[in-house]
Structure 1
Amino acid sequence: MKELVFMLADLWMIFAGFFYGWKFIRRYNNYLLGLEWMIVATSGSNFLVWSLLGGDPGSFLFDIAYFFDAFSRSVGITLILVMGLMHVTHRYKPTLAADIGAFALAIAAGLYLQQFRGHELHVGPATFYVIVNALTTLFLAYFARRLWKIRAKGLAIGAALATAAGTAIAVTYDFFPISGDDEYRTIFYTLALATWGTQLFVYFMSYRALHNHNVATGAEPSSNEQSVARA
């Protein structure tokens, strides 16, 4: 039962990543969030296959899993997330060079942090992950406040709760192992995957609400008008 719940949590994150990532690209032309969502989904797919094949730490799938994990925890669901959400909070539209630079930085971080893999605690990288998550949480608190101000109170509460859960996972990840969990940390990863999938879903819905509000108030063109402009 525990393993089944774990797989369901992973499948939820995979679905949310691919489905809403594609919507970010197709509907809003937001490649930062769309690609990052899909990267998270790809990471979850790799993690699921690795787990089903026995979870061998010597497998190349584990190397891939660690890379994706470092990619998103360091830059993906921090800097790239903030840059992408700023499109609806500050009308920020990064250049192609900025998009490429953000993902190049994430790739470099993922490769560099590979050296700290292993079961032992590496305080430096673990602290770095918590700090960048905390900084991102500050922006997400502002993001939730913006939702509240446009009277999307349900989404504001949802975004705040999803962010709080994500922060709890970030702090627990390295520093506070769950008592009674197995050697594969099945309970922790079940909670983490369910939380991350929910964040992908809630942040998309919140982005949509702010986008629609901006369109209604004339602050930005509709998605259809943007498509015509690109054509």
Structure 2
Amino acid sequence: MKDLLFMLADLWMIFAGFYFGWKFIRHYNNYLLGLEWMIVATSGSNFLLWALLGGDEGSFLYSIAYFFDAFSRSVGITLILVMGLMRVTHRYKPTVTVDVGAFALAIVAGLYLQQFRAPTFYVGPATFYVVVNVLTTLFLVYFSWRLWRIGAKGMATLAALVTAAGSVIAITYDFFPIPGDDAHRTLFYAAALATWGCQLFGYFSAYRALHHHNVATGAEPASNKQGVVRG
């Protein structure tokens, strides 16, 4: 049952990442969020393949999983997420150089931080992940407030709920193992993957609502491919 829950949660996250990531690129020309969503989905695909092949911690897939995990926890679903959402909160569209630089920074962070692996507990990296999550959460609270202010209370509530759930996962990840979980932390990862999938869906839906409001009020053009000032 635990394995089934894990696989279903992973499949949900994979679907959410690829599907809504493509929508970010196709409909809103937002490559920061679109590519990051797809990277999360690719991470989930690698994780699922690793599990199906037996979950060998000596496998190359295991190292790739740690890289993707560090990539998104350090820069991807923190700095890149904030920069991408600022398209609808501040009409901010970074230059291609900034886009590439953000992903390059995430790659460097992922390569460096992937070395800090369980079962050894590394307080420095673990604390860093929590700190950047807290800073990102502050922006997401503001993002939710912006939705509430325009009357999109359902989307504001959804964004707030998935943010709260994501923060719980971030804090639990290294500091509070689930009692009775197995050596591979199957219960935790089932909960984490399901939560991350809901975040991918929730932030896309909230972004779409704020974008449509901006278009309706003339704050930005209907197509993000035109008239957006790059900064």
CA distance in 1, matches of 2:116, 2:102: 22
Determine the C-alpha separation between the residues in 1 that align with 2:151 and 2:190: 33
How many Å separate the matches in 2 of 1:227 and 1:84? Answer: 17
2:89 aligned residue: 89
User: Shift of residue 114 of structure 1?
Assistant: 2.2
Question: What displacement does 1:120 show?
Answer: 1.1
Residue identity opposite 2:176 in structure 1: F
Shift of 1:39: 0.1
Kept in 1, the 8 Å contact 2:88–2:211? The answer is yes
Q: Which residue of 2 aligns with 1:78?
A: 78
- Aligned AA (1:4): L
Task: Extract structure 1 runs of 4+ deviating beyond 6 A.
Answer: none
TM alignment of 1:18-167, pairs within 5 A? 18-167=18-167
The number of equivalent residue pairs is: 228
- The one-letter amino acid paired with 2:100 is I
Gaps in structure 2 of 5+ consecutive residues: none
TM-score by length of 1: 0.97
Q: Which residue of 2 aligns with 1:216?
A: 216
Contact 2:14 2:42 (C-alpha < 8 Å) held by counterparts: yes
Contact persistence 2:221–2:227 (CA under 8 A):
no
Q: Identical aligned pairs, as a percentage?
A: 77
For residues 169 and 216 of structure 1, what CA distance do their matches in structure 2 show?
36
In structure 2, the residue matched to 1:185 is 185
| Aligned residue number for residue 2 of structure 2 | 2
Letter in 2 for 1:190: A
3-state secondary structure, aligned to 1:115? coil
Q: Distance in 1 between matches of 2:171 and 2:220?
A: 37
List per-residue Cα deviations over 1:58-116 (Å, max 9, x = no partner): 00000100000000000000000000000000000100000000000000000011221
Aligned-CA RMSD value: 1.2
What letter is aligned with 1:109? A
SS in 2 for 1:183: coil
Give the aligned partner of residue 225 of structure 2.
226
Q: Deviations over 1:41-65 (max 9, x none)?
A: 0000000000111111100000100
Unmatched runs of 5 consecutive residues or more in structure 1: none
**Any idea what SS the aligned residue of 1:9 has?**
helix
| CA apart distance, 1:118 | 3.0
Q: CA deviation at 1:227?
A: 6.5
